Structure 1
Amino acid sequence: MHVTTSPVLLIHGNCSSSGFWAPLLRHLPSDWRVVAPDLRGYGDGPTLAIDATRGVRDFADDIVPVLSELYEQSGPVVVVGHSLGGGVAMQLLLDHPEKVKALVLESPVSPYGFGGTRDLDGTPNAPDFAGSGGGSVNPDFVRLLAAKDRGTEAEASPRNVMRAFYAAPGFDFGDDEELLLDTMLSTVVAEGQYPGDGTASENWPGTAPGTRGVLNTIAPRWFNLSGITELPVKPPIVWIRGDQDAIVSDASLFDLAQLGKLGLVPGWPGEDACPPQPMVGQTRAVLQRYAEQGGTYREVVYEGVGHSPHVERPEDFAAVLGEVTGS
């Protein structure tokens, strides 16, 4: 019999819900205490406006009661965060380090946010953090997401985006495809929700972060979690990613600077003025400092895997969780 020494809290990513963990849950022992809440604006989560000037704290604060209850019942919790959920997990670590036994970051947003920064220290490309935030998303995708489109005719349809970017190219979601698409389509598209507002900018590409909604929560204007390196209590961190991740990458196809470099967004001012964000490099640099200042971390890289290792390699992911929980 498997016996876990710690409960597990699973935090899903952007444009998904707790249902996105289903492929992993089938491979976890039945006696584990696993809790997977829906973030606000996704799945069955509450539809509450998101104050992006707090970074991801609105999301994290919503989950604190769950974390606290698990902690009071069973002791420190293994917190697992996917993509945006990785940022929420890091925020929980910053705010409640004593309640976290270990942190598992799966394809996490960089500790310096998403878009608009140029180096391993998270230096912005422009003073107003242009190139990040709610105005940086493809409006066709937003429109089709709001319409709950399940087709494939439009290039930016949610199904096509999931097939192209949520996993490595050519990955077959099989019988899980409709379920996982359902999680995408559960996203609340509305003012103050997804994607969020933007502001006009004199700097390329002409849009900077707003103050409301999902994508602004991870804009570097409001989001910087590199302070985890200064925590007096540093639980171990496991960083899991795929080597073919097209979303969180040093050459992300969701980074406007990278798209400009590829000629897909006009007017790109060049590498010196607006280089693509080194997302993986930034995460590694912060975790190395975390280790140098008394913590530990391990990087697990799966070859041929994209943005969702727990979907693409669920048995391997479950094995890592078994090691972390001590079961």
Structure 2
Amino acid sequence: MDSAQRVVSANGISQAVRVAGPPDGTPVLLVHGNCSSSTFWEPLVRRLPATLRVVAPDLRGYGDTETAPVDATRGLADFADDVAALLDDDSLFPAGARPIVVGHSLGGGVAMRLLVDHPDRMAGLLLSAPASPYGFGGTRDLDGTPTTPDFAGTGGGTASSDFVRRLAAGDRSEEAPTSPRTVLRTAYVADPASLGDDEDLLLDGVLSTRTGVDNYPGTAEHSENWPGTAPGGRGVLNALAPAHFRIADELVAVPVKPPITWVRGDADVIVSDTSLFDLAYLGSLGVVPGWPGEEACPPQPMVGQTRAVLDRYAAAGGTYREVVLPGCGHSPHLERPAEFVAELLALTGVPTTAGQRGA
């Protein structure tokens, strides 16, 4: 199935949206992750049945959507409000549509926020390597207990300044560990061969990330606690910080509980209990100096937290299914497309063989 891009005005900003399939098809909404864009869904969309109506927006500050600021004090709500506004655009979805919402990484957090705010607007939720319901970094246990009162070690100050510089410069080289192409090959997937002929298309998505204090990575505050930085109030990484994004209790309490499928790879190095992007874990490896030790600053149990929250969701009347893909990294929809398509179609109720290609 082929997609076409259009631009719509929704929630007060100009949003670029990829659309595929008939207007009256089974609705699916795809929400991409951080440092990417809707291009990350293109390889998946090609494999989907023509009976689906697929809508994949570029989030604010990514792709071809307007460079609107991110108010981190609202967590991921700015993004979720943008996406929610698309549900009311009858050029994208028919009136009253309840799509299956698919969220990757940061987009998984956006999808959780969308579920909390609009539980009656989705038929199911597919979380692909999602951010923890307790945000990224700075928590010590399955209940999301803060490591320090100011959530030190999270937010905008944790980004690699060289990676940010290379993003801003549109660097397409592979000369350094912090070049966007190298990060794409080594962190987004477990096996760079899984990117195939789409590597440059996906790199375009990475490089579409707008940098600065209002977008990626955002602002930072000084902290007296290790490693000396705490989340600010502006920008993407602060919106993901547990000071601002802590959605576990709200998720469990939603009055309407659509089925959730959680797909993850066991070789993910971004969202993991041993994440190479968690400063506490890097400190334990000696990569970030001065780590105060396991008791004071343990790595965040990201996967364990998500499972614990989804167990509570199920105990409160919902249902969920955890799918673990061996040898898969942070992008199951790119690395293991056949299994991913099958899980998506199971949620939609569309037969697996209904016209899909290459799955």
Interval of TM-score (by shorter of Structure 1 and Structure 2): over 0.9
CA contact (8 A) 2:44 2:337 kept: yes
Query: CA separation in 2, counterparts of 1:105 and 1:289?
Result: 16
Aligned positions of 1:242-261 closer than 5 A: 242-261=265-284
Query: CA separation in 2, counterparts of 1:127 and 1:134?
Result: 17
SS of 1:36's equivalent in the other structure is strand
Distance 1:169 1:273, change over 3 A: farther
SS of 2:230's equivalent in the other structure is strand
The Cα of 1:170 is off from its aligned counterpart by: 4.7
Query: CA separation in 2, counterparts of 1:68 and 1:277?
Result: 37
2:291 pairs with 1:271: no
The residue that corresponds to 1:239 in the other structure is 262
Question: Whose strand fraction is larger, Structure 1's or Structure 2's?
Answer: 2
CA contact (8 A) 1:7 1:74 kept: no
Query: CA separation in 2, counterparts of 1:190 and 1:129?
Result: 21
Is the deviation greater in 164-173 or in 153-162?
164-173
Query: CA separation in 2, counterparts of 1:120 and 1:230?
Result: 18
Give the gaps of 5 or more residues in structure 1.
none
Distance 1:283 1:60, change over 3 A: same
Query: CA separation in 1, counterparts of 2:198 and 2:155?
Result: 30
2:184 pairs with 1:167: no
Counterpart residue type for residue 220 of structure 2: G
CA contact (8 A) 1:9 1:67 kept: no
The Cα of 1:322 is off from its aligned counterpart by: 0.9
2:96 pairs with 1:55: no
The Cα of 1:23 is off from its aligned counterpart by: 1.1
2:148 pairs with 1:119: no
Counterpart residue type for residue 91 of structure 1: R
Percent sequence identity is 64
TM-score by length of 2: 0.88
Query: CA separation in 1, counterparts of 2:25 and 2:347?
Result: 10
CA contact (8 A) 2:148 2:225 kept: yes
Higher RCO (CA < 8 A, seq sep 6+): 1
Counterpart residue type for residue 290 of structure 1: Y
CA contact (8 A) 1:115 1:131 kept: yes
Is the deviation greater in 169-178 or in 128-137?
169-178
Query: CA separation in 2, counterparts of 1:6 and 1:30?
Result: 10
2:324 pairs with 1:301: yes
Aligned positions of 1:73-112 closer than 5 A: 73=95, 75-112=97-134
SS of 1:269's equivalent in the other structure is coil
Query: CA separation in 2, counterparts of 1:302 and 1:85?
Result: 19
Query: CA separation in 1, counterparts of 2:30 and 2:96?
Result: 16
* Aligned counterpart for 1:44 among listed residues 55, 64, 67: 64
Counterpart residue type for residue 257 of structure 1: A
2:346 pairs with 1:323: yes
2:30 pairs with 1:10: yes
CA contact (8 A) 1:18 1:37 kept: yes
* Aligned counterpart for 1:311 among listed residues 331, 334, 338: 334
The residue that corresponds to 2:354 in the other structure is none
CA contact (8 A) 1:6 1:76 kept: no
CA contact (8 A) 1:199 1:208 kept: yes
Counterpart residue type for residue 175 of structure 2: E
The Cα of 1:66 is off from its aligned counterpart by: 1.1
Query: CA separation in 2, counterparts of 1:45 and 1:5?
Result: 25
The residue that corresponds to 2:11 in the other structure is none
Query: CA separation in 2, counterparts of 1:122 and 1:20?
Result: 30
Stretches (4+) displaced over 6 A: 2-5
The residue that corresponds to 1:202 in the other structure is 224
Query: CA separation in 2, counterparts of 1:299 and 1:103?
Result: 12
